Structure formats: structure tokens, C-alpha cells
Amino acid sequence: MPDIPADAIPENSAELARPSDSRLQAEDLAPALTEWLSTKAGSPATITEIKPPDGNGMSSETVLVDAEWGGETHQLVFRVAPSPESDPVFPEYDLDVQFRLMDHVAKTTSVPVPPLYWSEPSEQIIGYPFIVMGRVDGEVPPDVLPYTFGSWLTEATEEQRRQLQTETVEALAGIHAAPLPEDLLEAPRAGETALAAHLRRMKDFYEWTVEGHERAPILERAFAWATDNLPATDDAVLVWGDARIGNVIYQDFSPAAVLDWEMAIRGPRELDVAWGIALHRFFQDLAEMAGMEGLPTFWRRSDVEAVYEKASGHKPQDMDFYVAYNTMIYSMILFRVQCRAVDYGQAEEPADPDDKILNKATLAAMIDGTYWEGIGDQR
């Protein structure tokens, strides 16, 4: 494991990982949503409860709504797009496309997604676009604090964690087997591979992120490394994008609903396979740095690659690159979150911009090619 300073986890990391205060107040939403639901349901609707959820999420806002119509109670999840004025984590949110992607996955694969009700792309109802899904009960591995710090997952048996890991990777293979929804995913430019297009968009995201802030040397070095080492592949499947266990609801350690499609693209399947590995390495490194055991035998790269190959028939290629590349992308997201924290007065602007990146030592070790030799049999 790379040498990470002992004080690298801010005491207020949970707060900094969250969006700004909610714009959505129950007393303001209820009248408009009641009328809207009545129109959609085709019969008078009554809202009995509105509340925000606990759990993961750094992008859009989510509101839980219990409503009645047609003599039945419906437990709903409203996912609401952020406004540009809220300084969002990402520059664009197209919830309607996310809704249609989930519908595509539901209709063409056996991968579980939440029950889908309606998409409202206009801002006329509550001021922001939103989608409506059915609520799925279950457990989600927490991001804050990470599940490696102590959670229902650390309390599970090895067999239960192995079941969760295997079935989640199988679901990932199922997503990649779906027909490519050409009309829902941005196409590469002429003469550009899907992977090269992804790298170009990541560079654009970085340029957007650093507006008004100092540039991060470690990210600039990582971009140069990625450009120089980009694999030559024409592979282009439906890539979930944020393919991690924190975006899955589990029931008895089996996936019950795959969530959060704002990062979905067309690209090499390795982007998804490596994303979960990169995120687990981040959480595991933090746990070990804090003197905890974490989950050293969980989501090991070799195990995930083997399960994916068995489930899909495709042996993941160039995984040193893809895990490092995804670590770079997550580092940019961490950098963006900390920039937001500075903007909102929740954190001080550090003298070194790289100090906004909690996993900068891991990123440096990965692009230098020294990371994997330091973690022993966890690989």
C-alpha cells in the first residue's frame, strides 16, 4: 500500500462528501406532486409522507414519497436533478436518459433495476426535472464512512461476501450483454475509439472542475500517463459507469436493484470491471491506514476478473491501465467534491491543490507502476 499520511481522512469527510443543503422542502413539494401524480395515475392521488433518504449519493437529490391512488399505497423514490446554481458534482444531468437506460436494461436483460414509473423531463412541476421509481427494500454498502470501516458487510461471513461479489459481477456481465442503446449514448467522433472519446470527455470534465481553482499536478501527470498508455481497443458496450457495490441494493446478499446511471457510456467493458476494483482499493487502503483490517479478501482483482470471464466469456485485458485510469477518474471526483467544499466554506483552500485528493498517493503509485507490489495477496 502507498504511504498515506495518518491524518489524510478529514474529520468532516462525511459532510464534505455530500451535496449542498437540499433545495426541496416537503411542504412545497406536496401540492405540485399530488396534482402531477393524479394526472399520471389517472385517478386522484394523496401523498401521505415525504422524506429524504439516508445513504449514499453525491449527485442528484432523492426524495421518498408514500402516495395512495386507486385504493393502493405506492412507495416511490423521486430522483431530482440538481440546478446549475447548486454547484453540482457533474456539469450535466440527464435523468430522462438515465430512466430510459434503466428501462432498456430491464427489457433486454435479467439485471434487476428498480420498478420504473415515470420520467418528467420538464422543470415546470417542481422547478427541476425528475424521475419516479418504486422503492426497493434492502441494504446498500455505505460510502461514508466506507463499508471497510465496519458495516453489515464486515459483519457478514466470507461465504456471504463471496455470494455478493459473484452475483454483482455476474450482473455487470449481464449489463454488458445488453444491446447497445445507440440513441441514448454519445457516439465517438470520426476516427475516435469509444475509449479515446471517454478520455477526451474526462479531460473536459477536469477543465470544468478547475475553473476558479488551482490545477492539480497529480491529475495533470495522470492525464499525460493515460494519453501515452491508452489501449488500442474498439470494444464498445453499454458501460454502467459507476459500477460499484455502493450503487446496488442487496437482499440476502443478492443484487435486488442496480442504481445510478449518470456515468453510463459506450466503451470497453474493462471500465466497469476496473471501477469496482479501484473503489474497493481506495476504501481498503483507507481502512488499513486507520489501523483497521478492512476486507482484505473481498473484491480482489484476480477474483473479480475470474468471475467476470466465467460469466461473460471475455477475459479482461489491460487491467493495470484500467484500474489506474479509474483511480484517476475517482480522484477527479474527489477533487471536485473538495472544490465544492471550498466554494461552500466547508473547507480551506490548501496550499497544495493535490491535497484535495484523498487518494493521491494511491494514484501516484498506480501510474508509477508500483502499487500492486505493495498489497501482497490482496491482488
The Cα–Cα gap between 311 and 167 comes to 10
The Cα–Cα gap between 322 and 230 comes to 9
* Catalytic-labelled residue, pool 242, 260, 272, 354: 242
| CA neighbor of 220 nearest in space, from 353, 348, 358, 372 | 353
Query: Is 242 among the catalytic positions?
Result: yes
Q: How many residues does the chain have?
A: 379
**Which secondary structure element, helix H or strand E, spans residue 66, and what is its range?**
strand 61-69
Helices (H), the chain: 13-16, 26-41, 95-108, 158-176, 194-209, 217-229, 270-289, 301-312, 319-343, 360-368
The Cα–Cα gap between 282 and 277 comes to 9
User: Cis peptide leading into 95, omega within 30 of 0?
Assistant: no
Q: Which cell numbers in the block locate residue 317?
A: 485485458
Give me the active site residues, please: 242
